[in-house]
Amino acid sequence: MNPISRVAIIGECMVELKKHDGVLQQGFGGDTLNTAVYLSRLTKQHGVETSYVTGLGHDPFSRAMLTAWREEGINTDMVYLSEDKLPGIYAIETAEDGERSFFYWRNDAAAKYWLRERALLSLVKDLCQHQMIYLSGISLAIISDDCRQMLIELLTMCRKEGVKIAFDNNFRPKLWPNIEQARDFYSKILSVTDMAFLTFDDEVMLWGDKHEDEAISRTKNFGVKEIIVKRGADDCFVVTQDQQHTVAALKVDAVVDTTAAGDSFSAGYLAKRILGGDVAESALAGHKVAGTVIQHRGAIIPSQAMPTI
């Protein structure tokens, strides 16, 4: 992999509401934001800068998010501030058996419109100051159809300038009007992707796969050169053009909360690859970070609890 000093991560961060001891607590959360925080923590001391690309408003919640991200060393120059939109909100309800339910208010969130805040060529110029762009299926799902097409064009133009594209499938059926549209846009984005993170359960929901080989074969046919298949506590697979590696997950005895397990795995993998690790070493780093995160409550663990990779 060519040297990488700047990574842009595209997505959405929302206001989080959850009960703790009967009291409603407010925080922040989002799949790609989790990845951005962990990637920044793992690489900033090595001179790698992580930028977050999203839309926010001119409100106290947006200002608090920006402050928190900057404290993590995340560059916020590409956070576009809407004059009339606010961040989305989600609430977590936890049943007695520990099962969690999520409720969302995000249909008119500022992050839905960030692509309309700037001219396309201006966005390309700013994103091309990075050597890698990372985004997820949720980054794709939350925006409108016309913005999705703009995003594909944007990534295509950046890739022609040498920027690597990394995509995490993170499929959420409720965010798409129908499965056909989701498949269409996933096909388009995978066709401009260099590195794909696939959670196999999501591939099953999206494509109806019966076995991991189907997901791997289809993704290779889209032209993706590096494929990481995440399988929770089971071994992960890493497939390149000429070889396949199986990397065992680390045994964790005390699982507290699996929130952000996949997001943190992606951060660990990316960090190790950026710092010069091969694919097997990077998968092990992903397991190590995710294995640490699930031993703590919440998506973002204390910085002092971070493992070394």
Q: Are 163 and 124 in contact (CB under 8 A)?
A: no
E-only strand ranges, the chain: 6-10, 14-20, 23-29, 49-56, 79-81, 89-94, 100-105, 132-136, 164-168, 195-199, 226-230, 236-239, 244-247
Residues 148, 185: contact at Cβ < 8 Å?
A: yes
> Shortest CA distance to 29 belongs to which of 254, 256, 264, 205?
264
Quote the pLDDT of residue 131.
99
What per-residue confidence (pLDDT) applies to 247?
94
Q: What is the mean pLDDT of each run of 10 residues along the chain (309 residues)?
A: 95 91 88 98 98 98 98 98 95 73 90 91 97 98 93 98 98 96 98 98 97 96 98 92 91 84 97 97 97 90 94
Question: Which domains can be identified in the chain, with CATH numbers?
Answer: 6-305 (3.40.1190.20)
pLDDT at residue 232, rounded to an integer: 84
- Angle at the Cα of 149 from the Cα atoms of 144 and 151, rounded to 5 degrees: 90
Q: What's the full length of the chain, in residues?
A: 309
| Nearest-angstrom CA–CA distance, 140 and 152 | 9
Residue whose entry in the numeric block shows the structure tokens 């989305």: 88
Active site residues: 263
pLDDT for the residue numbered 18:
85
Pairwise CA distance, residues 86 & 88, whole Å: 7
Specify the pLDDT at position 110.
96
Report which residue type is found at 115. Answer: L
